[in-house]
A and B are shown apart, each in its own frame.
Chain A
Amino acid sequence: MRMRMRRLTPLLPWLCATFFLAMAPMASSQTLSVQPLNLVGTISQADWEAYRSRLVEDNGRVVDTANGNISHSEGQGYGLLLALAAADRSTFEKIWNFTFTELLIRDDGLAAWKWDPAAKPRVTDRNNATDGDLLIAYALAKAGAAWQEPRYTTAAQKLAKAIGKTTFARNGQSLTLLPGAHGFGASDRPDGPVVNLSYWVFEAFPVMAALAPEYEWNRVWRDGVMLLQQTVAGRVRLPADWISLHNGLQPQPADGFPPEFGYNSLRIPLYLLRAGMTDLEWLRALRQRWSAENEGVAVVNVVTGQVRERLTDQGYAILPAALACALDGTPVPEALKTFEPTLYYPSTLYLLAKSLLGEKYPQCVSSAVP
């Protein structure tokens, strides 16, 4: 293990449920485990204010400014997580209020994923998005513990149980995480089940396991890591955003989606770093690919290796910087230390990375933090 966690804060007993995976079948001596984050107070007031004032409405709606100003469960989850990291209880409460009254209305207890201010009814797709559910539940659980607010913890637990009940699907030997309650399962489409590796918010799994121990969170987490290993074993070494598990032994890019490592999958390394799973060999390969001398952060065809689009926004550029910091202790370049908020998604990624760096790698960002 490269990193030793020293800054352990007082944890509720359930946070100690660590996830541990010995990668024996992978012919390596890696061991992986999730290391809990503290989160609270890891984003500066200035950074948060810049984000909040542009992207969060007074009614607690997090606005996806690149997608017709719609909102979604993912955005609400990120908003909650970042408000917690900024220690902004007031905004957290607003975002939760909107999430609770507008999205948490499904019969199965999951959140409807899509909300459009221009439509009536506002929920324009009642399906859920499992990453959104995980993010909301995770943020609620962390906030409930940090602020000792039982309303949040209770809501987190309900949602955790709903996720376990509805989105876990057996596929051959493995237990997988369906991206939504409808439309992705083995019986829903010819190439089903179809999954999205970036929906595994790795850091959330031990927290969920403590809230809903009757579901096999550890197994889903582990099988997600294994699937990642499998999909990055090919020539291009990148997973597609949407993966068909129809042939259990041979994951394939799913039908109807471009076979790309795209905006979704960009988050996978960030989630791995946030979960403290830095020993995963693939992260080293990705650091190489993402380095300035190579192609950098890009949307890449996972079959041909061809780059379709290079992503230069600060929110994407900070990902390789965080990777280099976590793996080699390389300081984050000055240009990335000051937050320049743009659109919803890259701004969110930026603050998620910044929050991580602030908590676990302060030496990489030391000079710029006010």
Chain B
Amino acid sequence: MRLVGSAITIAVAILGFAAIAQQTGTGTDQPPAGSPPPPTPPANGSQPQVDESALRYFASQGDTRRVNAEIARLRALYPNWTPPSDLSQLSGAAGGAAPDPLIERLWNLYREDRIAEVRATITERQTADPSWKPPEELVTALDMVEARRRLTNASDTGQWRTVLQVATESPGLLTCTNVDVMWRVAEAFARTDQPNRTRDVYTYLLQNCANPGERLATLQKALTLLPEPQVTALLQFERKTGETPDDFTSIRDELARRRVERASLDSKLTASAEDLAVVERMIQNTNEAGPVLILGWYNYHHGNPARALELFKTALDRDGGTKAAEGYAMALRALERLADAEAFAYEWRERAPENMKIYLDVATALLSQDPPPRLEPQVLARIVPVVTAQRFSDAAQALGWYSYNTEQIRTARDWFRTALGWKADDEASAYGLALTTQRLNDRAGFNAVVAQWRGRSQRIAELADGTNPAARRQPVAAPAVVAQVPAAQPAESTPPPVQPRPASSRVTVERVETEQTFTRTEANVRRRQSQARSTLGRSCAITRNPAGLTGDSALTRGWCLMEINRPMEAVAAFDQAIATGSGRTREEAAYGKSLAYLRKNMTSEAAVAAAEAPQTRERRVELGASILTQRALAAYRDGRYVETLLALTERARIVPEQNDLLLIRGWSYLKLGRYDDAAKVFRAVQQTGYSEEAAAGLNAIAEVTGQMRY
């Protein structure tokens, strides 16, 4: 029995024949003799090699009836096959030898694929007559059939090393008549991390085998198993001339589609005009939602939400399902059509988890608009039960602020309490609870929040110390009740219904919005700081309580303290500015405060500060992203991977995730044992550069999962 080689020897062997195939080039047939294992290339360019052993046997016996039956069978199997011309000579060569009925029976059984019975009959005959030997070609044919069965069964069951072992032991299988076997061997190489060997098998096949359908199918298989550069390299074997030229357009298109798909999820990647045109053509030529979605996301992530919206609409019409609905809602949100987004997302919320998520996000965004929007009662009435059922604390908090800003303090208090119940460490809700209990003269409630949060939240502590007067914002005029929210509240202690904001309050806040605002750039901040420093001179450095300062003086003092790098005191000054200043002052102070917190690496405080004053969309995005980056990195440094992912995901919602943060995401997944997710991320990064870092991650996964296998 031949010694079983390791996968590496096999690989070398296959590499050997592939290399030879390359040397001999397209159209040449025989590789040099003695190369292991000798593959049998097709006899000519268009004719597969057919097992003619049974046919030749019947011919040699002069059995015309069986010869004809066998020719018919082989023709059915191989349409391009033509019977050999030398059959009549064979018949003559049989001479006077009487046909052996047993051998005829064996060949018949073999033709009927009754291999076990052939073996059994041979054994029987040999038991009776130990000197008897079956025909050589029958034994070879049996070995081949058995090897092919084992190889096929092993491949169907994912036993890749067996596949390679059988192929090594029966190299005769690797011919153009057995393209299926070659495909399976190629896959076995890929599944055992030898993609170059996979490519070699495909290369051999494309250089030697003629059937255009099989050639195209080979590339389709390559698409599922090989990295794209290798697939692209295989395209060079396309035969553009000859009887049966290839048409690999579909493969090229698929590669283009994939490039656009990758770019569709990463705003840093740009797809070429040609690639985009391919996807456009796919959209025209099919009724599939797939390419429409790709182009939708591409536009969404490349600053064209209006076009994205149209495409997602088309995708919806083509039964694009939950993904299309998610995209449609996200595009509406990006277009700031929050009311439409909410109404649409509501219809889809139960269809998939991501649809529920976008609904909650959109509802939260809708409620958190500044100034508080005028909402139809039925909108609030449908948001509340979903938020309650999903226990989504962000939306509960948003309902709190919405109520607070529309002078429904009691309702606001209950929502803040609910939000805290769902997310105990939610400082912003705690602050809201402190504010509302204070406003309601609910001493017990107020003291309870303060007792719990004094050590963790400076602004709650200040509220308790009276340094930060409650009025976070001038409340608008008391709302007239527009409509009662239906009482269909879920069981648990849900806050009383939120009243929609009355239209009358609109004017007030809009006026505030039109005041001139401070443009936030690094240069502006620096200028503002140094101006403040020169205005206040030495007095800036003297520690003093900012309480009592007017809004503008407090603001100047805040910037000045930033200039001399005393951010915690700057926070107090900015707080005073927020409490007493005009709209413009408050906004600028809130920004200064969040910068102060960022400087101290107090990212969650920075986030709170950013939420304290009206922010334009761009500012929210810019500030939010940098806060979330800081928060993610801090969490990652401390080994809090779940929080890292939360922060990154939140960040990815507002700005695209760049590669370095993607790597952090990958490592976080890895640390949490989510290897599949980690692998996906690293692979994505690998495809966009950063290959070394990504490869390190992939190796780490392999190492961990390899260890865990047994």
Contacts and interface: CB of A to CB of B under 8 A. Distances in A.
Interface of A: 58-60, 89-94, 97-98, 100-102, 104-107, 112, 121-123, 126, 154, 185, 187
B444 interface: no
A101 B142 CA distance: 12
Nearest to B154: A105
A174 to B, nearest CB: 20
Contacts of B159: 105-107, 126
B162 interface: yes
B132 interface: no
A91 B120 contact: yes
A285 to B, nearest CB: 39
A104 to B, nearest CB: 7
Nearest to B125: A90
B119 interface: yes
B117 A94 contact: yes
Nearest to B149: A101
Residue of B117, B157, B160 most packed against chain A (CB within 10 A): B157
A123 B152 CA distance: 12
B254 to A, nearest CB: 28
27 contacts: A58-B114, A59-B116, A59-B117, A89-B123, A91-B120, A93-B119, A93-B123, A94-B116, A94-B117, A94-B120, A98-B116, A101-B146, A105-B154, A105-B162, A107-B154, A107-B159, A107-B160, A121-B153, A121-B156, A121-B157, A122-B153, A123-B153, A123-B157, A126-B157, A126-B158, A126-B159, A154-B1
Interface string B141-184: 00000100110011011111110000000000000000000000
A8 B121 CA distance: 32
B102 to A, nearest CB: 13
Interface bracket on B: 20 to 34
B124 interface: yes
B85 interface: no
B146 to A, nearest CB: 5
A90 B122 CA distance: 8
> What 5 pairs between A and B have smallest CB-CB spacing?
A121-B156, A97-B116, A105-B154, A107-B161, A94-B116
Contacts of B19: none
Contacts of B710: 185, 187
A123 B156 CA distance: 9
A121 B156 CA distance: 6
Q: Is the interface of B mostly helix, strand, loop or mixed?
A: helix
B127 interface: yes
Contacts of B149: 101-102
B20 interface: no
A89 B127 contact: yes
Given A93-B122, A104-B150, A107-B161, 11 more contacts: A92-B123, A94-B119, A94-B120, A97-B116, A97-B120, A97-B146, A100-B150, A101-B153, A105-B153, A106-B157, A185-B710
A105 B157 contact: yes
Contacts of A112: 157
A90 B114 contact: no
B476 interface: no
B138 interface: no
B509 interface: no
B154 A90 contact: no
B642 interface: no
A90 B123 contact: yes
B115 interface: yes
Nearest to A150: B1
A89 B124 contact: yes
A58 B120 CA distance: 10
B336 to A, nearest CB: 53
B156 A97 contact: no
A90 B124 contact: yes
Interface in B1-20: 1
Contacts of A105: 150, 153-154, 157, 159, 162
Contacts of A93: 116, 119-120, 122-123
Contacts of B150: 100-101, 104-105
Interface string B284-314: 0000000000000000000000000000000
Contacts of B117: 58-59, 94
Nearest to B127: A89
Nearest to A95: B116
Contact of A59 (B114, B121, B122, B124): B114
Contacts of B123: 89-90, 92-93
Interface string B86-125: 0000000000000000000000000000111101111110
Contacts of A59: 114-117
Nearest to A98: B116
A123 B120 CA distance: 24
Contacts of B157: 105-106, 112, 121, 123, 126
A105 B157 CA distance: 8
A98 B1 CA distance: 20
B146 A100 contact: yes
Contacts of A94: 116-117, 119-120
A105 B116 CA distance: 17
Contacts of A123: 153, 156-157
B149 to A, nearest CB: 4
A132 to B, nearest CB: 16
B673 to A, nearest CB: 16
Nearest to A154: B1
Contacts of B161: 107
Contacts of A122: 153
Interface string B22-45: 000000000000000000000000
A107 B153 CA distance: 12
A94 B116 CA distance: 5
A187 B150 CA distance: 31
Contacts of A126: 157-159
Contact of A106 (B115, B122, B162): B162
Contacts of B162: 105-107
A331 B255 CA distance: 78
